[in-house]
Amino acid sequence: IQGTPADWRVMLPKGGASGDMCEARYLLDGFEVDRTAIQDYPPENIVAIEVFRRASRVPVELGGTALTRDCGAVVIWTKRGGG
């Protein structure tokens, strides 16, 4: 995680041997959201957090395909979403 609390972002390695980093995609209960949507989410409502380091590891159900994405994802499951 990089940045100040008001401007944090999760950086993950891109595929390949270059060592380049990219910002993860953020999903809340399986739906892609902007990182600001989860920035102040109440921790007591979070059931689980999954981190998929590479695009090829993100399940298809969550929009993952190595062909269309360069980076992995952070998936947050909440009580509301039935996680």
Q: What is the pTM of this model?
A: 0.76
Question: What is the C-alpha to C-alpha distance for residues 49 and 67, in angstroms, rounded to an integer?
Answer: 24
Helices (H), 1-83: 35-39
Span 11-62, pLDDT tens digits: 887 766 667 888 888 999 999 998 888 877 888 999 999 999 888 888 888 8
Beta bridge partners of 2: 9
